[in-house]
Amino acid sequence: MSPIEIRATYSLASLFALRMLGLFMILPVFSVYGAELDGANAMLVGFAIGAYGLTQALFQVPFGLLSDRLGRKPVIILGLLIFFVGSVIAAVSDSIYGVIAGRALQGAGAIASVVMALLSDLTRDQNRTKAMAGVGASIGLSFSIAIVLGPILASWLGVSGLFWFIAALAILGVWVVVWVVPTPELQHSNRDSRPVPSQFVTVLKNLELLRLNMGIFLLHLAMTACFVAVPVVLVSKVGLPSPGHWMVYLPILLVSFVFMIPLMIVAEKKRRIREVFLVAIALLCISLFALSTWHSTIFSLCAGLFVFFWAFNLLEAMLPSMVSKIAPAGNKGTSMGVYSSSQFLGAFFGGLGGGYLHGALGLGSVFLASGILVLLWFIVAFGMKQPRFLHSYRIELTGVDSLCNLKARLLSVEGVEDAIIVAEEGAAYLKVDKNCLDDEHLKQIAEAAG
């Protein structure tokens, strides 16, 4: 990678991490502290926890389209300022309704797709996957840090102070965009990194992608619902005050990451994605059913949470990789956009549903309902095919006499499984099997077309 590409990767990964920290630090504390706000009840507390997911899902595509017109950096800064205003509103609010409004506004600054588009503008095709993997890793790391850091900061600053801290992270993010993130010389239209509205119907009709979208929806529904219940369980059932909750989360997260690695190796290196995927869903389901009954002691709760996070971390890592493998040529950006929207909608319904069940039927019902939904996911996922290990590939085109003939020639190359020519972009998008790809043949065609 060039110096500019390295700088783009670490700066945009840092930006993503700052924003995700701000969204996630509330998760492990708000169901306890939020209950003290004026007008609060269990359902409204859950609504506040998940409200960001609804607006994030609604505004993600519009922000991406706006960045095509106004530029990536101005739209990212706009999104961060909206996030800042939402954090301030939540910080100064004494009522649950003010916090709900603030959380919804936090999510409205939906810059995820714009950040990925900017990363695409700043990296070459051969290094883009590596750069995007770095950004993806920062999201997972920020989630783990937020779950541990949230209870610590809330004990020092209170929930209001925590929101002020999150507002400061938004301003730090603006500084990163202005002074650290490189400015691209050209803004590219790349279908592998941004959604294309005309492709939504095609993506939504793809059965294999629908299974994965359902999966990420239910995974984040279960995760958010659990964080409606778990902090309350730790306080009311186990007797552990909120400031000490990090002592539960930290070792569980660390050990679950260690246990996740062997299964990831089996899935990717041994090409047993389907089997490992189903095992992870089964583990998630078992943990939720166990937590629904056994959550009154520190041992039973920690055991259930360990299995939950073991499965959650594994699924969180596998699902985007599976979407990338399954998405048709030239549809990766749209497929990932629908996937991300499904994820955020899951967080919204998990908070709202978890809060309602907590208030109406008790804490155990939150885990039980989540377990039933994950069991449904397992049944649906069982019919999936073994994903093929296909990679996305993009070729720049200039002066091509016959686009149809070019597509036929590309598909004749050994290892090229799918191809689409986008004349208005001057590009060809391929799905290739690198294990049997005839690189020389493909290079010759690309050089003749480029």
302 has pLDDT over 60:
yes
> Are both 178 and 252 inside the same structural domain?
no
Q: Which residue has the tokens 């939720």?
A: 288
Give the model confidence (pLDDT) of 101-147 as tens digits. 999 999 998 888 888 888 888 887 667 777 877 887 788 888 889 99
Instruction: Give the integer Cα–Cα distance in Å for 214 and 209.
Output: 9
CA distances (Å), 234 to each of 115, 239, 240, 301, in order? 37, 6, 5, 8
Tokens for 58, please give them.
């609604």
- Average pLDDT of the residues in 335-347: 93
Of residues 448 and 77, more confidence is placed in 77
pLDDT score at 141:
86
Q: Indicate whether 362 and 411 sit together in one domain.
A: no
Tell me, yes or no, whether 203 lies in a domain: yes
What pLDDT shows up at residue 356?
Answer: 97
Q: Specify the higher pLDDT residue, 320 or 357.
A: 357
Domain check: are 155 and 276 in the same one?
A: no
Last residue of a domain, one of 144, 163, 185: 185
Position 1 pLDDT exceeds 80: no
Q: Using the 3D structure, point to which of 339, 374, 389 is the last residue of a domain.
A: 389
383 shares a domain with 403: no
Buried b (16+ CB within 10 A) or exposed e, 213-231: bbbbbbbbbbbbbbbbbbb
Identify whether residues 263 and 341 lie together within a single domain: yes
Residue 121 lies in a domain: yes
> Are 338 and 441 contained in the same domain?
no
pLDDT of residue 449: 67
* Total domains, the chain: 3
**182 alpha-carbon distance from chain centroid:** 24
Residue 450 confidence (pLDDT)? 59
State the Cα–Cα distance between residues 204 and 196, nearest whole angstrom: 13
Residue 192 falls within a domain, yes or no? no
Position 402 confidence tier, pLDDT thresholds 50, 70, 90:
low
Same domain, 293 and 406: no
Give the per-residue pLDDT at 193. Answer: 72
Last residue of a domain, one of 372, 389, 406: 389
Please determine, for residue 66, whether its predicted confidence score (pLDDT) is greater than 80.
yes
Q: What domain range is 314 assigned to?
A: 199-389
Does residue 401 register a pLDDT over 60?
Answer: no
* Dihedrals phi, psi of 179, to nearest 5 degrees: -110, -20
Q: How confident is the model at residue 160 (pLDDT cuts 50, 70, 90)?
A: very high
Q: Evaluate the CA torsion angle 179, 184, 189, 191 in order and state its sign.
A: negative
Average pLDDT, the chain: 90
Angle, vertex CA 325, rays to CA 211 and CA 126, nearest 5: 150
CATH number of the domain that 406 lies in?
A: 3.30.70.100
Whether 71 and 122 have beta carbons less than 8 Å apart is answered as no
Assigned domain for 190 exists: no
Cα dihedral across residues 288, 227, 54, 353: positive or negative: positive
Note whether 320 and 354 are same-domain residues.
yes
> Do residues 20 and 107 share a domain?
yes
**Which domain CATH number covers 69?**
1.20.1250.20
How many angstroms separate the CA atoms of 55 and 44, rounded?
A: 16
| Same-domain pairing of 114 and 215 | no
Q: What is the pLDDT of residues 14-41, one digit of tens each?
A: 998 898 898 899 999 999 999 999 999 9
Highest mean pLDDT among 103-117, 400-414, 421-435: 103-117
Tokens, residue 63: 């922000």
Return the higher-pLDDT residue of 338 and 138. Answer: 338
Q: Are the CB atoms for 130 and 198 separated by under 8 Å?
A: no
